Structure 1
């Protein structure tokens, strides 16, 4: 409270007292006890009112204690079971949970991690992947400004993600790894890595690269074999020693049949080898007999051209050529799809050729587009012609139903730049993305598709889509999501297949360590997405002939089913709409491979590095009592008393208002009772 406020309060008291005495004492010749009471009540009323007008502020200090957090992060992947550590982990979690001293000193937060990180102490040890880097990244955000040591219960074997030793330093918390497994070195041959393309072309040979490693001290000989069914398609003798402990094998295999061809690569085990699961890997190649050629035509260089080329060619069934308008006409018969990037007058022969052949095209407009020329060459839409540019962000139209579009978090993408103005369409169109200016979502299209006269077209009203591909990588640490989005758009434009009321999206084969997701869309007779339909998928194993039926769950603008629990093998499937006699069939293959069973030992070295770099300590699972005692004795994790200071204005005190009302009411009642009113 300031000196000025104290002065005003004293002045208010003097004024209130003066007025009360003037009204009830100075004017009265015969002062009675009642006059004194009335003067006191009047003083209270006036002083309270003046205090409310001054409204002084008071500091309110409250004290509380804050315990540190103990983050217990437990590896929930199947490698824990493979290393025979399941029971040890369950006992450790139970002992931490039931330890009263730990509960008194820490707030216990339990997490599990594998494919993802979850807030739970329920353990299944069924996750097919381990991403410790992701767990550390999440903890660095969740516990940014707190004291929160991390108890990391894991074998340290990460199957994907960045090196977690470096990401651990960003957590800014002491990390205490509890190491699962032993440090005994076993003699072991391992097929470390297998590199092969997803697609091959009929009557060609496709390359395969295999990396084989050896862990041991003796000289050993073995044989590397690749089989297809019961037929050996490649074999090679290999030998290893303590110094010559790895080999890179490069060879080619023939692609003689169209379709998915499954293979098994194996390094034959040696005597007394403990783990033979990591000796083999299954892989598959889809053999196709044609390639989709896409032409990107541009009159100038731009980063968008490279982004489109990279995204489209991420599917090896497609090949992209970036050419100038002059060169296209001499090669036009080589392409199944044309992308016109910011056309101008030099594109006139191309528009005339495409119109004559009624060919599909993808039109991209930006700041260097000649809009008067575009309006002249197309009758499907007209563009406002202005000399201004605008930045447009994207908003996904969840009602788009031509093909399945996943939400890539488009609203987080940088804006595209284009000419200011709108497009007016003379035909029905399907909008994938709407324009968004700042926080205002418009109904003006940013990306549309349409079909007319048996021709398919798409129009993108903006440039700098290369920034979207970069942002997608920053969001997900992968280009796959954005490339799949562009791939689906190109697949739609490169085909003239008649539109179906039931569309199914699936892969021809799935790796054993990935999720097996099948997506579908169903439309009513007006080709509007039907959210009321019930879709079911019937899956039949080609070998065992076992049949299972699963419902598809509505998620956003499509139906999905997760078939990851199916065992490895080949499957035929049929997706059927329950209320209508519409179905679609296909087949896929799940390759056998469990990456979590490739390890023999815990990664002790990396876990000890994590402990060292974060000022923690590492422990083996057998030393849990020592771990708990060390946590309890560690003075860095003491309970802290904190204070909170709030500045509260007097007007927030309801009791003063009650006192004012009460004093006025009592004064009025007494004056009325004594006949003074």
Structure 2
């Protein structure tokens, strides 16, 4: 480390500082006679100390700096990135795998003689060091390039060596990363680039979510190479716990060496939950791999569709508008009825009463059944509503009105409403929608009411509710004060070309009142219903005391069952105020789990299911992509093969551009920060003062 002295002013200012010290010291001691009688040298010593002190203090006014310069030598880094995916060794035996790993390790050992060598393996994620097993389920070359860029961009990266077959089935094209890495890229190409005989279920496509009782299609893409004039049997199975059910079967005639076809099958969604369907192709002779002759697809079949009864006083444009809005949501289906029609409330999950109870319709029996069956319900108050009967039918809102006089009301948001969120377009645009028609009068609410929208009457915002909610005895209900929702729907389409804003208002209202509160004290759940086989499985549990406060005092015992019925037992770990259990990686298949605990002498149980999907990406594309590796290396000159890895090591060792880099760390600090200088000045002042006192002066 070297030190350099610098000033903020010209160097000749130092002479001025010395001159200032000499002048002031001379003025004090030139004619001083008291010390000459003691010793002839004493005035000269005192004058010297005083001059040096004054000059030193003046010198610091020039803001002198010290620069500490330290040279750091960074040796060049060579990074070896090894593809650890299954496709790397798909056509190798154990001897071939051992040879490949040995060559990679030998390359690293050779380069470590001269360079700082770092290595990692990649697939679905990054692992430090080279590996001798190739088990990664995906190939993500761009992730490896991103890792190099993020970790070595600011270091002396001399070279990147990529050992891969060039196949990537996740992430973007790695060629796009070339510009982000300044060091030369060398590639060691593995795998076979020839087109070999292979039959593949290239893809299986279906909606991931369907509803119970619906029909849905499964599309199957089949591809074959060098299989001309051969036949295969395509089968579609429904994999159930009770066994495999064959749904479709047909023979495919392969009529070219580059064959591709698409088949589509319509399937009934008959079983709720996660359903696994498997497409298989019977093998043909000479295939390079049979692991890609099948493919699974998982479908979530929901038994959550709710049936909504639209019960109206009489035909009205609102009814059609509501029916169309609700029917566009696959979670709901609607039926329109009038008081004289036959209907059974047991067939419905929710009821919307439009202008009921009406002036000419007695629906007392229906209202009683709604309360008895604890059905969520919505009242829409309009011109045909019997206000007195309405006030008696519910206790959420009381309207003091003659039921004859009506007025126009516009919507205004209640900023204190927190039960659910509204999108920004809804909040900014709803106020411009046409007014609804509501009874003129005074409105009062119960204390537990939550108003979503208020009435804006002739540009005056009131606290009268337009849409308000209540939860009582576990049942949620709502009141919409005003008819004319059909005008909102038409206006929404006229202004925006869609029905998104009015649909959000109606759907969120319906969704909120239909959501049932979960009063269970013990809840056991997996992180999700469908995992990939390279994902760790986490199961969580929550236990509530009598005040519905989270607690994790007692032990929770977890049992996990695979599709063969084998049981695995665990004791869940306590984390904060809940429980969790990471059971790690599991083989593909369907699993069920159950948990139990005992709290305050009461036994609690819960259960659930999840499925693990096999990742087959590494089985579907076995043709090595050496063209990708050539592009990454910037040409064939930097493309090598495992057989000539020694030549690669020699080329890198002899490359003159890969050399150490010297970095200078410069630290600048004011000279006045050095404490020892302060003590020197203090010492000189003290010595001068002490001598003057000793020899009889002040």
Q: Normalized against structure 1, the TM-score is what?
A: 0.67
2:658 to 620, 627, 637: 637
* 2:25 is the counterpart of 1:20: yes
* 2:216 is the counterpart of 1:216: no
Give the Cα separation in 1 of the matches to 2:129 and 2:556. Answer: 32
1:89-121 deviation per Cα after TM superposition (whole angstroms, max 9, x unaligned): 64355435544x546434x33333333335555
Greater C-alpha radius of gyration: 2
2:237 to 219, 223, 227: 227
Give the Cα separation in 1 of the matches to 2:106 and 2:446. Answer: 73
- The answer on whether the counterparts of 1:72 and 1:111 sit within 8 Å (CA) in structure 2 is yes
1:129 to 135, 138, 143: 138
Give the Cα separation in 1 of the matches to 2:176 and 2:525. Answer: 38
Give the Cα separation in 2 of the matches to 1:384 and 1:248. Answer: 51
Relative distance call for 1:17 and 1:219 in structure 2 (3 A) is: farther
Relative distance call for 1:521 and 1:253 in structure 2 (3 A) is: same
Aligned-partner SS, 1:62: strand
- The answer on whether the counterparts of 2:107 and 2:646 sit within 8 Å (CA) in structure 1 is no
Q: CA deviation at 1:637?
A: 2.7
Give the Cα separation in 1 of the matches to 2:178 and 2:578. Answer: 38
Give the Cα separation in 1 of the matches to 2:475 and 2:617. Answer: 46
* 2:559 is the counterpart of 1:538: yes
1:282 to 278, 283, 296: 296
Aligned-partner SS, 1:278: coil
* 2:278 is the counterpart of 1:264: yes
1:502 to 519, 522, 534: 522
- The answer on whether the counterparts of 2:295 and 2:616 sit within 8 Å (CA) in structure 1 is no
**Tell me, which stretches of 5 or more residues in structure 1 are unaligned?**
296-307, 322-331, 339-345, 388-422, 424-448, 459-486
Kindly report which structure 2 residues correspond to 1:128-167, keeping only aligned pairs within 5 A, or say none: 128-148=137-157, 149-167=159-177
- The answer on whether the counterparts of 2:101 and 2:131 sit within 8 Å (CA) in structure 1 is no
Alignment partner, residue 437 of structure 1: none
- Of residues 490-499 and 11-20 in structure 1, the stretch that sits farther from structure 2 once superposed is 490-499
Q: CA deviation at 1:209?
A: 0.9
* 2:374 is the counterpart of 1:366: no
1:240-263 deviation per Cα after TM superposition (whole angstroms, max 9, x unaligned): 355542111212233444454433
* 2:6 is the counterpart of 1:9: no
Q: CA deviation at 1:532?
A: 5.3
Kindly report which structure 2 residues correspond to 1:477-516, keeping only aligned pairs within 5 A, or say none: 494-496=514-516, 498-506=518-526, 507-512=528-533, 515-516=536-537
Alignment partner, residue 587 of structure 1: 609
Q: CA deviation at 1:592?
A: 4.2
Aligned length: 549
Aligned-partner SS, 2:145: helix
Give the Cα separation in 2 of the matches to 1:508 and 1:59. Answer: 63
* 2:95 is the counterpart of 1:95: no
1:411-453 deviation per Cα after TM superposition (whole angstroms, max 9, x unaligned): xxxxxxxxxxxx9xxxxxxxxxxxxxxxxxxxxxxxxx99654
Alignment partner, residue 608 of structure 1: 630
Give the Cα separation in 1 of the matches to 2:214 and 2:619. Answer: 34
CA RMSD of aligned residues (A): 4.8
Kindly report which structure 2 residues correspond to 1:346-361, keeping only aligned pairs within 5 A, or say none: none
Give the Cα separation in 1 of the matches to 2:566 and 2:222. Answer: 36
Relative distance call for 1:2 and 1:675 in structure 2 (3 A) is: closer
**Tell me, which stretches of 5 or more residues in structure 2 are unaligned?**
1-5, 310-324, 335-344, 353-378, 397-417, 457-462, 464-468, 479-506
1:657 to 678, 687, 691: 678
- The answer on whether the counterparts of 2:234 and 2:251 sit within 8 Å (CA) in structure 1 is yes
Q: CA deviation at 1:7?
A: 4.4
